[in-house]
Structure 1
């Protein structure tokens, strides 16, 4: 197989706290029944989320993420 390459653009995803609406949620590294535990960096509210935040996804140049 041949090596190929292409230019990609990074997209950073964050999750805002549902409690204080200002702080970003950060993963604690704990997984509970398939959910990722997160803690707000401002108010310390904890929440279990399906995805781990923050995270980065890469898309080809000209592609856009599906929201």
Structure 2
């Protein structure tokens, strides 16, 4: 039997930032799904790329 692991650590898929407080990041960062995997975007990158996110452009285009 394999040991259950918790959720993956939160890391910004755009800039690689990691939050000091992961609980706060889960409230203020953006979460999306790309190619079947969960991706997180920090609040600063989310603001910078807001139009692309709203337009549902793939992050490769940002």
TM-score, structure 1 normalization? 0.25
Higher helix share: 2
> Is the radius of gyration larger for structure 1 or structure 2?
1
Normalised to the residue count of structure 2, the TM-score between the two structures is: 0.25
